[in-house]
C-alpha cells in the first residue's frame, strides 16, 4: 500500500468520526495534502505555492478545532504559507473566533419532507412526468459497475467529457473538480438512462457526523430530455428517506444570499462565465427547508481580499492567468461579445476622414464600414444566443475578411504607407481579423463538440 493511500485511509477514518462539514468527504479526492495533529485531527488543504487553502474546517472533535487551527497556522508560517478556510459554516466561527466572509448559501432538505415537496409542486411533478414520458429511467449503480473497464464506467467517463465540454469556463480544481470515483464504496450513484444510453449522472457523498448526504455531482448530457435532473434528484431524495438520512444538501450556491457589496458586483460581472442566479433558482425549485450561509474564514489580522485571491488560485489549479486564458478560449459568448465591442470601435475609426488614405477610393472605405456594421450586428446576435448555423457563417465571413484585408494591405496599403504609424495600423488591420477568425473557429468547434458528442 502506498503512503498516499495509507494517508487517505487515515483521513477516511477521521471523517467517519468527525466529518461534519458538508464538503468534508471531498478532501479524499485528488490534489489534497494532509496535515495531521496527532491521531485525532487532520486538515485537508491545497498548496497554491503561496497559501494553504483548507477545504472547510479541520477534521476533528469540536473541542479540538481551535487548537488544531493554531497548530496548523504555525506549520504554515514555518513553510512560508498563508492560510484560509473555504466552505466553513457558522459553528467554525463560533469555535475559533476567526473572521469570516460570507460567500454564498447552501440549501438543506430533510428527506422525510420530500414526498410532500413533490405533492405541493405542480411544476416539479410536470418535469418528472415529461422525463418519464420521454423514456428516461433512473437506477442506482452497483459499485462493481464503476470498475475502470466496466461498460457502465466507460459510458460515465464519456458523459463527463461531454459535460465538461459544455462548460463556459475551464475545468476547475479544489472542491469543484469532477472525480466521483474515489472510495466508491462510501458513495451512492444514480444514472438516468434513455434507450440504453446514460444521459445524466448523480454522485452522492456522505456527511458522516450529521448522518447526511451531499448531492455532489450532477452531470447532464446536452441532449437529455427536460426533467432528467429532476428525476435524479427525486430518486436520490427517496433513497435518502429510505436510508433514514437526516439531511441532504445540493451544495453551495456561490455569491448567493446576503454577501458583501463587492461580491455582489463580482456576481454581476461574472454572469458571462457562470449563471449564479440560475443555479440558485434551480436549487430553490426543490423547496429546501433552509438556506445555510457558507463562509470563507481566515486568521485574525489577515486580509479578506487576499484570502479570496488565494482561494480562487486553488480553484484555478494554482494558475489564475492560465485558467483565465483557457476560459477565454473555450467560452463562445465572452469571445464573441469582446469581438463585437472591438469591431464597433474599429468601425468608428475606419469611418473617420483621417482613415481615407488607407483605401483606394471613398467607395472602398464606406464599403468596409458597411460590411463591418453588418458583421458587428451578427456578432452581437451570436453573443446573445449561440446558433451554430450563424456561427458557421460569421466564422467563414471573418476568415474571408482576413484574406481580403491581407491582399489589400500588400497591394495598396504598404506601397502607400506614410510612416511608422501607418505600418502599425496596417499590421493591426491584418492581424485583427486573422486572430478573430481563429478564436471564432475554436469557439465554434468547442460548442459543436459540446452539442454533438
Q: What pLDDT score does 181 carry?
A: 93
pLDDT at 25 over 90: yes
pLDDT at 72 over 80: yes
- pLDDT band per the 50, 70, 90 thresholds, residue 194: very high
Summarize pLDDT for 121-141 with one digit per residue, the tens.
999 999 999 999 999 999 999
pLDDT at 404 over 90: yes
Q: Is 353 exposed, middle or buried (0-12, 13-18, 19+ CB in 10 A)?
A: exposed
Cβ–Cβ under 8 Å, residues 293 and 94: no
Q: What pLDDT score does 453 carry?
A: 40
CA distance 417 to 415: 6
Domain ranges of the chain: 3-104, 105-291, 331-452
Q: What pLDDT score does 325 carry?
A: 65
Dmax (CA) of the chain: 82
Q: Give the least confident one: 64-68, 153-157, 174-178, 322-326.
A: 322-326
Ranges assigned E (strand) in 149-281: 188-194, 197-207, 212-220, 247-249, 253-254
* End-to-end alpha carbon distance in the chain: 38
Q: Which residues pair with 249 in a beta bridge?
A: 108, 214
Q: What top-level class would CATH report for the domain 105-291?
A: alpha beta
CA distance 176 to 277: 18
The set of residues, in sequence order, having a beta carbon less than 8 Å from that of 355 and lying 6+ positions away, is 349, 365
Element (H, E) at 392: helix 388-408
CA distance 437 to 402: 8
The set of residues, in sequence order, having a beta carbon less than 8 Å from that of 248 and lying 6+ positions away, is 108, 109, 110, 111, 212, 213, 214, 215, 236, 237, 240
Q: What pLDDT score does 229 carry?
A: 96
pLDDT at 151 over 60: yes
- pLDDT band per the 50, 70, 90 thresholds, residue 452: very low
CA distance 228 to 234: 10
Cβ–Cβ under 8 Å, residues 432 and 341: no
Q: What pLDDT score does 149 carry?
A: 93
The set of residues, in sequence order, having a beta carbon less than 8 Å from that of 367 and lying 6+ positions away, is none
- Mean pLDDT of the chain, nearest integer: 90
Summarize pLDDT for 288-334 with one digit per residue, the tens.
999 999 999 999 988 889 999 999 999 887 677 777 666 666 655 66
Amino acid at each position: 500500500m502506498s503512503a498516499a493511500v495509507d494517508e487517505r485511509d487515515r483521513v477516511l477514518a477521521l471523517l467517519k468520526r468527525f466529518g461534519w462539514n458538508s464538503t468534508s468527504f471531498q478532501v479524499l479526492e485528488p490534489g489534497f495534502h494532509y496535515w495531521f495533529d496527532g491521531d485525532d485531527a487532520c486538515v485537508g488543504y491545497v498548496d497554491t505555492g503561496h497559501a494553504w487553502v483548507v477545504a472547510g474546517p479541520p477534521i476533528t472533535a469540536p473541542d479540538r478545532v481551535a487548537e488544531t487551527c493554531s497548530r496548523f497556522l504555525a506549520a504554515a508560517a514555518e513553510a512560508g504559507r498563508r492560510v484560509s478556510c473555504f466552505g466553513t459554516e457558522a459553528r467554525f466561527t463560533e469555535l475559533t473566533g476567526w473572521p469570516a466572509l460570507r460567500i454564498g448559501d447552501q440549501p438543506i432538505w430533510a428527506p422525510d419532507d420530500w414526498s410532500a415537496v413533490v405533492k405541493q409542486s405542480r411544476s416539479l411533478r410536470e418535469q418528472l412526468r415529461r422525463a418519464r414520458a420521454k423514456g428516461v429511467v433512473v437506477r442506482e449503480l452497483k459499485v462493481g459497475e464503476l470498475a475502470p473497464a466496466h461498460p457502465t464506467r466507460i459510458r460515465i467517463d464519456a458523459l463527463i467529457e461531454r459535460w465538461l465540454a459544455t462548460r463556459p469556463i475551464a475545468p476547475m480544481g479544489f472542491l469543484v473538480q469532477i472525480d466521483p470515483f474515489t472510495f466508491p464504496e462510501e458513495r451512492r450513484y444514480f444514472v438516468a438512462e434513455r434507450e440504453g444510453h446514460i444521459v445524466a449522472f448523480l454522485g452522492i457523498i456522505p456527511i458522516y457526523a450529521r448522518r447526511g448526504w451531499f448531492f455532489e455531482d450532477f452531470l447532464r448530457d446536452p441532449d437529455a430530455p427536460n426533467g432528467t435532473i429532476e428525476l435524479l434528484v427525486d430518486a436520490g431524495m427517496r433513497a435518502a428517506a429510505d436510508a433514514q438520512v437526516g439531511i441532504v444538501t445540493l451544495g453551495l450556491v456561490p455569491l448567493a444570499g446576503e454577501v458583501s457589496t463587492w461580491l455582489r458586483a463580482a456576481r454581476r460581472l461574472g454572469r458571462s462565465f457562470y449563471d449564479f442566479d440560475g443555479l440558485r433558482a434551480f436549487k430553490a425549485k426543490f423547496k429546501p427547508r433552509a438556506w445555510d450561509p457558507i463562509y470563507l474564514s481566515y486568521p485574525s489580522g489577515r486580509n479578506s481580499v487576499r484570502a479570496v485571491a488565494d482561494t480562487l488560485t486553488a480553484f484555478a489549479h494554482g494558475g489564475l492567468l492560465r485558467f483565465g486564458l483557457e476560459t477565454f478560449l473555450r467560452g463562445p459568448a465572452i469571445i464573441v461579445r469582446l469581438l463585437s465591442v472591438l469591431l464597433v470601435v474599429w468601425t468608428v475609426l475606419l469611418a473617420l476622414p483621417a482613415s481615407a488614405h488607407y483605401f483606394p477610393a471613398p467607395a472602398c472605405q464606406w464599403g468596409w464600414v458597411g460590411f463591418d456594421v453588418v458583421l458587428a450586428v451578427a456578432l452581437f446576435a451570436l453573443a446573445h444566443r449561440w446558433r451554430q448555423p450563424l456561427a458557421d457563417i460569421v466564422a467563414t465571413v471573418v476568415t474571408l475578411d482576413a484574406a481580403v484585408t491581407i491582399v489589400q494591405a500588400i497591394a495598396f496599403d504598404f506601397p502607400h504607407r506614410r510612416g511608422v504609424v501607418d505600418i502599425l495600423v496596417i499590421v493591426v488591420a491584418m492581424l485583427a481579423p486573422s486572430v478573430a477568425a481563429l478564436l471564432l473557429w475554436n469557439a465554434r468547434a468547442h460548442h459543436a463538440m459540446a452539442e454533438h458528442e
